[in-house]
Amino acid sequence: MQDFVQHLVNGLSLGSIYALIALGYTMVYGILQMINFAHSDVYMVGAFAAYYAAKWLGIENQPGLMSLATLLVVSMVACALLGLTIERLAYRPLRKAPKLNILITAIGVSLFLQYAGQLVFGADPKVFPEVMPDITFFQWGDLSLRSSDFTVLIVALLAMVGLHFLIHHTKIGRAMRAVSQNSSVAAMLGVNPDRIVAMTFVVGSSLAGVGSVLVGMKYPKIEPLMGMMIGLKAFVAAVLGGIGSIPGAVLGGLLMGLSEEMVVAYLSSTYRDALAFGILIVILLLKPAGLLGRYQVEKV
């Protein structure tokens, strides 16, 4: 029982990280109907931005709330700027091009960031600074609630609540939803679609920035290819929940994290990654629109 609760906590905290990254995929898809494959590498750059900022500010060995907040802000800003730049330089010129061209461009941007990352940051892994002191809040037999898991859950929850507020209770959020539901009508009503697309990249990328600091805290080894696997899993999570659906991305992320943790705990860690792609295959077979996704009905 204690074991199970422990795995539940671990799974939820891993899952909320997947969810944060999945949100970026799903938001961009909702607006542009494209998969932004470079998203996972934006996340990687976020981790390195936090790493270098911690070094530069000399807070790498000063775990605490201040450091956490500082690194979160640095990483979010870095990711937002990078996302904005990618959208402006790589995707916007192709706005009217066939979807396949944009998809291929996204893969190109992803590879560019991965290899530029190896060139700039070096290919060898680096140790992420200690963000929060390692305290065990609660011990019950084998069950221990540690500060890192706790922080991950709280920060992820706050980020998601913030996103919900932005999307549902602000003018810009309403415009984002309007563009994703009918972009030509939104434009007719005075919404500048380019501005909304840019805003979507800013928000999605900064959530990846949050994710990168949380991951760095939980698994403090960062390297330029770190985005690949977690990006794929977050993408699967977004598809699982229904790509384009924001609650879907959160649900998909949590389910992915939980099932991964459970597979590792009760079956074998060998199957950890096989599970993610197994889930993708099953979803594509049984429910191609995802758990909370809707089929797009083409109307004439």
Partner 1 sequence: MSEILLKVEQLEASYGSIHALKGISFDVREGEIVSLIGANGAGKTTTLRAISGLIASKGLISLRGENIGSIPSYKRILKGLSQSPEGRGVFPAMSVRENLDMGAYTRSDRDGIKRDLENCYSLFPRLKEREKQMAGTLSGGEQQMLAISRALMSRPRLLLLDEPSLGLAPLIVAQIFEIVKKLNKEGMTVLLVEQNAQMALKVSHRAYVLETGSITLSGRGEDLLSNEEVRRSYLGI
Contact positions vs partner 1 (CB under 8 A)? 171, 174-175, 177-178, 181-182, 184-193, 299
Which residue matches tokens 């009217």?
Answer: 96
Among residues 286 and 299, whose Cβ is nearest to partner 1? 299
Among residues 70 and 180, whose Cβ is nearest to partner 1? 180
> 249: closest CA among 147, 169, 159, 152?
159
Shortest CB 61 distance to partner 1, Å: 48
Shortest CB 159 distance to partner 1, Å: 23
> What is the Cα–Cα distance from 276 to 267, expressed in whole angstroms?
14
Among residues 1 and 299, whose Cβ is nearest to partner 1? 299
Shortest CB 289 distance to partner 1, Å: 14
Alpha helix positions (H), the chain? 2-32, 39-57, 65-86, 99-121, 147-169, 171-181, 183-188, 193-218, 227-241, 246-266, 272-286
Shortest CB 57 distance to partner 1, Å: 40
Q: Is residue 190 exposed (0-12), middle (13-18) or buried (19+ Cβ within 10 Å)?
A: exposed
The structure tokens listed for 187 are: 């434009």
Among residues 102 and 186, whose Cβ is nearest to partner 1? 186
Among residues 178 and 265, whose Cβ is nearest to partner 1? 178
Phi and psi at 144, nearest 5°, equal -135, 130
Shortest CB 36 distance to partner 1, Å: 22
Amino acid making up residue 69: A
